[in-house]
Structure formats: C-alpha cells, structure tokens
Structure 1
Amino acid sequence: MNAPPHLELDLLAFPKAVPDLRRTVRQYLDAPCVDVQLCVTELVGNVIRHLGEGTPVRVRVVRAEGRTRVEVADPDPRALPVLVCATGDDESGRGLALLDAVALRWGVEQGAAGKMVWCELEEA
C-alpha cells in the first residue's frame, strides 16, 4: 500500500492541537522525523504567537525527489516571519533559527488570501 502523495490538514492553531499534529505527521511519514516535526511545531507556534490562538491554518507535508516539504498557510499576508539572532537571555526568537539550522532552505510566499511559510528538509 502506497502512502498518499501528501498530507494536508486544515485546523485551528491552538497549542493543544500541536501534539496530535506531530503524531499525524509521524504516521504519514512512517519513519522517524524529528526535524520535520520540529519544523511543523515551530511554524504553527509562530502562527499562535503572532496571529493568536484559533487562527485557521493549512498544514501540508509533501514528499518528493528525496525531500520533505512542510508548508503552513495562514490568512494574514502581513505578519511575516523574521530570522533574528536571539541571545542567551532571550526567552523567544529561536524558532526560525532552529528551522534555519535543520532545513535545506525555507521561505515565505504571500498572496491576497494570506501567506505560506515553507521549508524543505532531506527526506525523513
């Protein structure tokens, strides 16, 4: 039985939804995928922090050409993620730095209906 070509979930961004989301991603990939789960967690966490709990998001995970692509779309085209250099005393600001460290590349696509933050990792 072949896995579907991608996983796509529409959900409301609440902290309590993240553990189930991580589990669903792990089940879809059917392999250890700590880095993919980290990226999903950070991208959804950014939506919660910057747009608020309950924001509708679409999470998409695609396996293709030896890579795993994670996409998190939200309805606000203005709240763009920014990679910052957090110091040892900072209590936040490390999420995108972690994503940047584990991903091969990442970016943001803006549209009239919102934005999508994506990253690509070596296939899990």
Structure 2
Amino acid sequence: MLKNECAVPRGGLTVPLLARPEELSRLRRLTRSYLELWELEALADTAQLCVSELVANVILHIGEGTPITLRFSAHGWRLRIELTDPEPHRIPVLLSALEEAESGRGMALLDAIAADWGVALHADGKVTWCELDTVPGAPEHLPENPRPVGADVLLNLYGRTEPTSGRLGDAVTEDAAVRLIADVLHWLSAHGHDPDTALDHAQTRFEAMTAETSRWN
C-alpha cells in the first residue's frame, strides 16, 4: 500500500457543549457516526472510550455543566481528539494504581489505549488531547507537526484569545503573527543581534522543515 493511500483524510469536527453525564451517550453516537464517515470504524470503540474519559474527567475535577469544546481531526497516520475547557490550573495527571482506586480510573485508561496524549495550556483554559493510530505499525515520528501548534499557543498568549473564523479570523491571525515577528526582531536588535541574519536563519530552517514534512504527504 502506498504511503498516501493509508493516510487518513484531512478535516475536522468541532462540538461545543456542557460537560454533563447525559451528554455522554450522544457524544458516543456522534463519535461513531463521524468515524464511519471517515471510514475509520475500526477505531470507533476506542475513540468512544477516549471521549467518555475526557468528558468524565472534566465533570469529576472541574464540575458538571462546565462549558467545553470537543474536536476531532485527522492528520497523517493519527486521529486526534481534543477537549477544551476553561480551567488552566487543574491539569490531568496519571495516578498510581492505589490513587486510581480511590478516585476512579483518571487518565490511566487513556494512557493505556491512546498512542499519545497530553495537555496544552492557553491563556483562557487548556486543551487535553489524545491521538490514536489509524494504521497498525505507523511510524512514531509522524504525528501532527507540533511547531504550528506551538505557534498557535504563542499567538493566543500574545493577544489572539478570542475565537475567530472566516476571512476576518485569517486577517486577525496574520496581523497577530506579523506583530509577534516584528517584536521578536526588535528584541534581537535590542540585545545586540542582527535581525536580518536571524531572518535568514529562520527562512532556511523553515524551508528545511517544510521539505521534511512534504516527504510524508
């Protein structure tokens, strides 16, 4: 099978809701329907379990009725499930077996069934995410490129904290990125570095990373 034939389609689904126990059955049905649409039925049971654990963790540790956003996306050989909540100070942790017996399964089940998981902090909340392999034996170094994700975190902290969409959202994002780059260049100059040299090095690095990424697309 060719490399591109086993890569899952690109796209995404975003579901805003309130973290309540009665929403779990609807989310499980939605998860299965969406993965069937993507022809990823084999992952449906595992993905449903991940969704249930992510939402249940918010209900248990932040509170029932917390506004959350669930997002599914597929990149390369990974299905990614993200849950956004407004509480950046309560970070999910992997508990010991004894601690899990006291407080529930916690993130241990997620750690056992997902290919990878983690937490990304933002100025106004956090994203707890997990990834599932869509192809058995997929190379471990092919998850979503973390650099754009890291840049998005920087832009959120820099000032793009309100969600935007469409052309306006693109313009706001580009303006924030340009201002961030300009401020970094001013910082370099103020500390005795040559901004032009830094830009040249950044361009060379960007081209090298782009060439490396294109090998897998």
Say whether the fold is shared (TM-score over 0.5): yes
Distance 1:89 1:23, change over 3 A: closer
Distance 1:110 1:88, change over 3 A: closer
Q: TM-score, normalised by structure 2?
A: 0.53
| 2:70 maps to 1:59 | yes
The corresponding residue for 2:49 is 38
Matches within 5 A, 1:1-124: 5-30=11-36, 31-32=41-42, 33-87=44-98, 90-123=101-134
Structure 1 SS opposite 2:132: strand
Distance 1:53 1:89, change over 3 A: closer
Distance 1:116 1:89, change over 3 A: closer
For residue 11 of structure 1, what is the amino acid of its counterpart? L
Identity %: 48
Q: Which structure 2 segments of 5+ residues have no match?
A: 1-8, 136-217
Structure 1 SS opposite 2:103: coil
Distance 1:63 1:92, change over 3 A: same
Deviation, structure 1 residue 47: 0.5
Deviation, structure 1 residue 88: 9.4
Query: Which has the greater radius of gyration?
Result: 2
Q: TM-score, normalised by structure 1?
A: 0.90
Q: Which structure 1 segments of 5+ residues have no match?
A: none
Distance 1:58 1:115 in 2: 11
Structure whose residues are more often helix by fraction: 2
CA RMSD of aligned residues (A): 1.9
Distance 1:93 1:119 in 2: 19
Distance 2:124 2:112 in 1: 29
Distance 1:89 1:83, change over 3 A: closer
Distance 1:89 1:98, change over 3 A: closer
On the 8 A contact 1:63/1:123 being kept in 2, the answer is no
Distance 1:34 1:75, change over 3 A: same
On the 8 A contact 1:85/1:93 being kept in 2, the answer is no
